[in-house]
Amino acid sequence: MSDPRFDKYLWTVRLFKTRSQAAAACKKGHVTINGKAAKAAQPARKGDTIAVKTTPIWRTFQILDHPANRVKGALVPEYLLENTPPEELKRLEEYRLVQRDQILFQHDRGRPTKRDRRKIDRFKSDD
């Protein structure tokens, strides 16, 4: 099997929800292959190192194999090896928690209502 297009590979290993999103990320420079800007149409070769911008970090992966079709999440490790340092992944998780907190309580709305307060309390008690 020949090497697939890079945008299709990103989609098949579930790094992006749609192939269009993968192509757009390549065009914007949010994806690199071996340290160089990726183009959507270039081939994804086994052994290549890819980096994907996931605000606020760059996640790094190594291509192990090419799936024929889109694979379920449990099979992704057969095709892709994540090399992102654990401290970077922790930073990403902290960022996502802060974003979720900001959505729960928007400062421009003033004091939280009783219902909002209960949501905030439930969220904080889950930790």
- Domain ranges (residues) in the chain: 1-84, 85-127
What phi and psi, each to the nearest 5 degrees, are found at residue 75?
A: -95, -5
Query: Residue 52 has which token pair?
Result: 């994907």
CA separation for the pair 40, 5 (Å, rounded): 7
CA separation for the pair 48, 37 (Å, rounded): 13
**What's the pTM value of the predicted model, to 2 decimals?**
0.77
**Strand runs labelled E in 1-127:** 31-33, 36-37, 49-54, 57-63, 80-82
pLDDT 10s digits, 93-120 = 999 888 887 776 666 677 888 998 898 8
Q: In what order do the strands lie in the sheet with 80-82?
A: 36-37, 31-33, 49-54, 57-63, 80-82
**What is the mean predicted confidence (pLDDT) over 49-72?**
95
H-run or E-run covering 92: helix 86-104
pLDDT at 43: 96
Query: Residue 74 has which token pair?
Result: 């449990």
Longest CA–CA separation in the chain, Å: 60
pLDDT at 6: 96
Q: Give the pairing of strands 31-33 and 36-37.
A: antiparallel
Q: For the domain covering 1-84, report its CATH number.
A: 3.10.290.10
